[in-house]
Amino acid sequence: MSQWHILGAGAIGSLIAHRMMQSNCACTLLHHHQSSSSGLLLDGKTTARLPIQSLRALAPASIDRLLLTTKAGQLVDALKLALPYLSDDAVIACTANGLGFEQAFSEVLPGRSLHRATSTAAAFRDHDAVVHIVSDGITRIGLPESSASPPTWFSDSLAILDGWRWESNMQGAIGEKFSINCVINPLTAQLECRNGELLQSGAAGPELTALCEESEPLLNALGLWSRQSDLLSAATNVCQSTAQNQSSMLQDRLAGRPTEIDFLNGELLRRAENFEFELPLNQALVSALR
């Protein structure tokens, strides 16, 4: 069975490590601090303590499977820290939201592939640093530039986990997640509300409706939104099914951390430069949350 090292002991990294340990899937949860430690996680009514090892305690070239669970803005820095510990043929994957960090990854590791994972899992860390699991959701992982069948390292490890799927159309999965995140996350962060509060009487509220109507034509033109259903209907369904969730961007704003706005709506604005779409709502959100 493949041994995974998970770099990023935040909410999502802790959730994944916890599920791996429960499934006897070999993994080590890492952080970049000098010393090893542990973290508390609340899974329903059960409390678990997760061991967290220092990255610097590893032997050189000892990581064969690396899952980066940092935010998009920290991904490249985390990768640089992990470089001395990567084996020559290490598999590298990330759970970061958004687009726009791919070139920076390629500059750090030319010619290497970055597997992407998109997930509907939800977890948050409270003021006492306890990670709360809200939902395991579905996690899709694959190569954006390839439709290859599942590799051995997926079949003998991640496939064991409930809700994990190998995705042959990862580019489409990334585009869909990007589109949904662009219209839900920044609104919840700006309004400081849970996902369900973007709805009114079960239907999309005015802010969500307006942002979807502004964003969808460009997302379609870029090939990022390719579903048969319209973006507003899809976003409404997500808000209904995750009504009590706090988006990761809202969690970051409430904690005073940098948000992923540059890799979501900021990246959308950058890609809009070759088109003639007016995006005042997106521009206002980027200005407010940057």
> What is the average per-residue pLDDT within 32-54?
91
Contact at 8 Å (CB) between 116 and 141? yes
> What is the average per-residue pLDDT within 191-206?
94
What pLDDT, on a 0 to 100 scale, did the predictor assign at position 27? 96
pLDDT digits (tens, 9 = 90+) for 91-111: 999 999 999 999 999 999 999
> What is the average per-residue pLDDT within 181-192?
97
pTM of the model: 0.93
Helices (H), the chain: 11-22, 72-82, 102-108, 152-155, 170-191, 206-221, 231-241, 248-254, 265-271, 280-289
What pLDDT, on a 0 to 100 scale, did the predictor assign at position 1? 61
Residue 19: is its pLDDT beyond 70?
Answer: yes
Residue 35: is its pLDDT beyond 90?
Answer: no
Angle between helices 170-191 and 206-221 (to 10 degrees): 150
Domains and CATH numbers, the chain: 4-168 (3.40.50.720), 173-289 (1.10.1040.10)
Sign of the CA dihedral running 121, 119, 264, 278? negative
pLDDT digits (tens, 9 = 90+) for 121-155: 888 888 898 999 988 889 999 999 888 889 999 99
Look over the chain and give the mean of its residue pLDDT values, rounded to a whole number.
Answer: 94
